[in-house]
Amino acid sequence: MEGGDFANPQLMMEEILDMLKLLEYETKFCKNKGFKPVTRCQFSDQSSNPSEQFIYFVSLVSWLLSVNNHQVTGWNKYDDPMTSSQNIVLELKKLGIELDMSPTKLKSGYGDGVCMVLLSLCQISL
């Protein structure tokens, strides 16, 4: 993909799905955590249940961080979405992933910011 294509959440989701499959996330994440496999528009479009979508995003980020031997503690699915979003940006920085975005772009649980986070974590996980 060319650099400009990454601004398109649908294109990023295609790449994310491919990488998640290479990471065997269906057996290592979905079955262990009780999530259904990611769909092609899971994080590119708003879900009918935004709260569930955000929890899935945070759980997937936490798992991808653990794949990189970067354990996070104290994360809770009942945390305020803004707090969770700030924690994600902070943990990415600790891993050396500098994404020029505000945590507010993540608290919706979908869109280009969310897809950039997942794409970046998938890339360093492979």
- Higher model confidence: residue 73 or residue 11? 11
Q: What is the reported pTM?
A: 0.92
- How many other CB atoms are found less than 10 A from the CB of residue 40? 12
Higher-confidence residue of 113 and 77: namely 113
Predicted confidence (pLDDT) per residue in 26-73, tens digit: 999 999 889 999 999 999 999 999 999 999 999 999 999 999 999 887
Per-residue pLDDT reduced to its tens digit, 89-100: 999 999 999 888
Per-residue model confidence (pLDDT) at position 75: 83
